[in-house]
Structure 1
Amino acid sequence: MRLWSHEIWRLGLLAGAGGLIGWFFSAFGLGLAAGMGVYLYRHLRRLRALHRWLTRNPQAEPPAANGLWGELFDRLYRYQKGQRHTQERLRTTLKRIQESSEAMRDSVVMLDQHGDLEWWNGAADRMLGLRTHQDRGQHITNLVRDPRFVAYFNARDYRDPLTLPSPIDERMVLQIQITLYGDDERLLMARDITRLHRLEQMRRDFVANVSHELRTPLTVLAGYLETYADNADQLPPRLARSLAQMQGQTTRMQSLVNDLLLLSRLELEQSGDDHAPLDMSELLESVRHDAAALANGQQQISVEIDEQRPLLGSEQEIRSAVSNLAYNAVRYTPAGSQIVLRWKACGPGACIEVEDDGDGIDPEHVPRLTERFYRVDKGRSTATGGTGLGLAIVKHVLLRHDANLEIDTRPGQGALFRCVFPEGRLVSPRLNHDA
């Protein structure tokens, strides 16, 4: 405020002096204008100095001035100096980020809100074939053209990573994860998982081959045991008891081998060839009949149909998934329990539910229930004849049908297993009738 007061006084003095001189020569207006012109000329000189300083060498010392202009020059100089320090820190930080990104083995690609390439590290050159000068500004789907990647990119659902071959080397397997940030921009990261993929493939092949090789000797063993069992009355009692145990364990091994072979097939084969509209009422009633035979009157099993639209899928795989859920309910609920198989609408889609009012499961076990051979109670699972692969099979069947498994259970409050299918897996009754 003090500087502004000085400027106002200076303007008043110059205008007054000019007016007084003009009045002395009988030209008051001309003198007043002359005084104002002198004041304006002084400011124009300062403005010219400011312009020359900012356009020619803003990092140099500001022009010498006093009063309001001197204060303005000093403030601009301090502001520019602070900005230079901030920019230098940002440059240093950005350089370190770029250097650390270049040192990463994983690809890092920055995309703008349109999906165009902004920046990427050296690993992206090796994995995705991006070229530093030619590809900048290109849309990512113009360079990574795999239909699965295009669908993944456009879906904007990046909760799960995508696995696909490198666009420049089909022998290289990449795991791609996209993250949204900033103003709808995207950060794409790609990791070379070729070695892990090969190890997983070796594991699958090993399990499939061993399971297949075990099938024949188990069949032979089961055949001989059945023959001996038919003549059990001719055997000593002690040997007869051992024969029954061998039969039980052989049957259990056959079930385990069959489940392992089914899992291997679900993992290795492409899905979709045998998909057709399924009458869920008929399918659930068939599973209920089989589960009732397993329950032998110990549990009450019912079917509820609240959704009329058929499900598009593989009858063999869906039946296997529902059967595993129903058989688990029979095995792990006490006598007198109620088990319900249900087909109902779930939001825009639909779901299969298997619900029981048994003992329930502690929530701490729920995240691991679909792991292979994971058992909540190992002794009880073995006694009931379970293989520990049932929920793993359910999980893989649902993945092949674009569905997911939800588990709602509490100790003492029963368990609810829900298979949620998207709307795209449902068939309109009219279309199904026309077909």
Structure 2
Amino acid sequence: MNQDWRGVVIRQLLLLISACLLVGLLSGEYAWALAVGFGAFLGWTLWQLLRLQHWLHHQTDQAPPHCSGLWGEVFDSLYRLQRRAQGERDGLQAVIDRAQESTAALKDAVVMLDADGNLEWWNRAAQTLLGLKTPQDVNQPVTNLVRHPRFKEYFEQRQHPEPLELPSPVNEQLRLQLQLTPYGHGEHVMVVRDVTRVHQLEQMRKDFVTNVSHELRTPLTVISGYLETLVDNAEQLNPRWLRALQQMQQQGLRMQNLLNDLLLLAKLEAADYPSDNLPVTVDLLLLSIQADARALSAGRNHRLSLEADPAIRLKGSEVELRSAFSNLIFNAVKYTPAEGQIRIRWWADERGAYLSVSDNGPGIEAKHLPRLTERFYRVDGSRAAHTGGTGLGLAIVKHVLLRHRGHLQISSEPGQGSTFTCHFPVTQLVRR
């Protein structure tokens, strides 16, 4: 209430009191005159409150009741506030409608989830790609409608740095890519994209590599066999040919290793999870790999140390885990200078199990770390040729870990050595 209306109210009260006193003077009943006057004023005030309450609850879309004085100002002020709020609501609703219309026009599905993972809203593409139905699926858990086991694992993770690919629950021929993004107070936005064409192209690449590798394997085996025969009977040949034959045999062996790695990668990419999913005694597996690493080290006198918790076993394929772990350990042996130190650790905590392979070798620059698991990526081409690697070792490690629900972490500094750490979730562990 501003200063003017405060003065009006005071003057009205003074007039009321004066009128009551005048009636009391004429009648000789001052108390009754004041009581009747204030009672009438209170009744009038209550009547105006009832009119206000009725208008607010039943007629807020209409003009307020006509009234003069202070109550008229109250009615008019509330009506102006109501119209202003209605205008703001209309503006916000227009923005929401426009956002929903633009989102509905997207070919990618957009799904909004509450903090409990229940469906709140989705666009038309979500109905096509995920089979969501309006309104019966509203407030339903998303894991009840997308029932793929990998999606359930993905959804229960706290962080989602990488998208997930899986078949569409509506059409098995469609390949979807899902990405969860948190916002607000535990809510999520899920964006679903149809990547069937990309998946088909990737499958064509895999098939091409597999077929070519199989086709090259037979002639390469024949060539290697004849070269081995010639080298074994080198005393019957001209001595000038011995070095050439030995180099041809060495390069043939390198090509065979390359084809074997390509076929292994194709096998790893063929399925999401190993078929022989059994508890693996990792400490004994690492002991065996350590013995092979000592033989590979030969006269370079590397100091290899192993710390492995025998109570922790890992569900998965022993053959695939041996391939991944031996790649990491053998790489440390190849790239660590003579008399260098290599430390192998296997342990677990509340977040899962870890295998780390640390060395004090030359280290790797930070710009190379994100690309180390790419096929044929080499930090130093001459060094890789010297060690005889195929450039596929870390790619194999990456795919083996993905099949065992794990991931690879790499930390390295030039001149300080490198540490490769494999992290496996708690769901993959079996404790003795």
Same-fold call, TM > 0.5?
A: yes
Post-superposition shift, 1:154? 4.4
Q: Note closer, same or farther for the CA distance 1:299–1:370 as it changes in structure 2 (3 Å cut).
A: farther
Contact between 1:18 and 1:35, CA under 8 Å: does it hold in 2? yes
1:432 alignment partner in structure 2: none
Contact between 1:4 and 1:68, CA under 8 Å: does it hold in 2? no
Greater shift, 77-86 or 367-376, is seen at 77-86
Q: Deviations over 1:193-236 (max 9, x none)?
A: 11111122222222122112211111111111111112334434
1:253 alignment partner in structure 2: 255
**Residue identity opposite 1:385 in structure 2:** G
**Residue identity opposite 2:322 in structure 1:** R
Post-superposition shift, 1:106? 0.8
Post-superposition shift, 1:252? 1.0
1:194 to 193, 196, 218: 196
Post-superposition shift, 1:326? 1.7
**Residue identity opposite 1:314 in structure 2:** S
Q: What's the TM-score, normalizing by structure 1?
A: 0.90
Tell me the distance in 2 between the aligned counterparts of 1:147 and 1:274: 18
Tell me the distance in 2 between the aligned counterparts of 1:77 and 1:384: 84
Tell me the distance in 2 between the aligned counterparts of 1:186 and 1:76: 39
Post-superposition shift, 1:389? 0.6
**2:311 maps to 1:318:** no
Q: Note closer, same or farther for the CA distance 1:270–1:349 as it changes in structure 2 (3 Å cut).
A: closer
**Residue identity opposite 2:118 in structure 1:** D
- Please list, as runs of the form range in 1=range in 2, the aligned pairs for 1:81-230 lying within 5 A after superposition: 81-155=83-157, 157-230=159-232
**Residue identity opposite 1:165 in structure 2:** P
1:292 alignment partner in structure 2: 294
Greater shift, 189-198 or 302-311, is seen at 302-311
Q: Deviations over 1:42-74 (max 9, x none)?
A: 434544554565456545555555553344234
Contact between 2:408 and 2:423, CA under 8 Å: does it hold in 1? yes
Tell me the distance in 1 between the aligned counterparts of 2:219 and 2:360: 41
2:42 alignment partner in structure 1: 40
Contact between 1:299 and 1:339, CA under 8 Å: does it hold in 2? no
**Residue identity opposite 1:37 in structure 2:** G
Greater shift, 369-378 or 323-332, is seen at 323-332
SS in 2 for 1:370: coil
**2:364 maps to 1:337:** no
Greater shift, 305-314 or 118-127, is seen at 305-314
Q: Note closer, same or farther for the CA distance 1:142–1:410 as it changes in structure 2 (3 Å cut).
A: closer
1:372 to 370, 375, 384: 375
1:328 to 311, 327, 331: 331
**2:392 maps to 1:396:** no
**Residue identity opposite 2:79 in structure 1:** Y
Contact between 1:307 and 1:350, CA under 8 Å: does it hold in 2? no
Contact between 2:66 and 2:72, CA under 8 Å: does it hold in 1? yes
**2:390 maps to 1:387:** yes
Tell me the distance in 2 between the aligned counterparts of 1:184 and 1:355: 38
SS in 2 for 1:361: coil
1:406 alignment partner in structure 2: 409
**2:22 maps to 1:20:** yes
Q: Note closer, same or farther for the CA distance 1:396–1:365 as it changes in structure 2 (3 Å cut).
A: same
SS in 2 for 1:352: strand
**Residue identity opposite 1:308 in structure 2:** P
Tell me the distance in 2 between the aligned counterparts of 1:203 and 1:333: 35
SS in 1 for 2:299: coil
1:351 to 351, 354, 357: 354
Tell me the distance in 1 between the aligned counterparts of 2:61 and 2:344: 78
Q: Note closer, same or farther for the CA distance 1:158–1:418 as it changes in structure 2 (3 Å cut).
A: closer
Post-superposition shift, 1:401? 1.9
Unmatched 5+ residue regions in structure 1?
430-435
Q: Deviations over 1:318-371 (max 9, x none)?
A: 211121112211222222212222323455533222111111111221111111
Tell me the distance in 1 between the aligned counterparts of 2:282 and 2:156: 33
Q: Deviations over 1:362-407 (max 9, x none)?
A: 1221111111111111121122111111011111111222222121
Tell me the distance in 2 between the aligned counterparts of 1:269 and 1:182: 36
2:80 alignment partner in structure 1: 78
2:419 alignment partner in structure 1: 416
**Residue identity opposite 1:173 in structure 2:** R
Contact between 1:16 and 1:35, CA under 8 Å: does it hold in 2? no
Q: What's the TM-score, normalizing by structure 2?
A: 0.90
Contact between 2:312 and 2:348, CA under 8 Å: does it hold in 1? no
Moved over 6 A (4+): none
How well do the aligned residues superpose, as a CA RMSD in angstroms? 2.5
Contact between 1:309 and 1:426, CA under 8 Å: does it hold in 2? no
Q: Note closer, same or farther for the CA distance 1:122–1:253 as it changes in structure 2 (3 Å cut).
A: same
SS in 2 for 1:296: helix
Tell me the distance in 1 between the aligned counterparts of 2:372 and 2:237: 43
Q: Identity rate of aligned residues, in percent?
A: 51
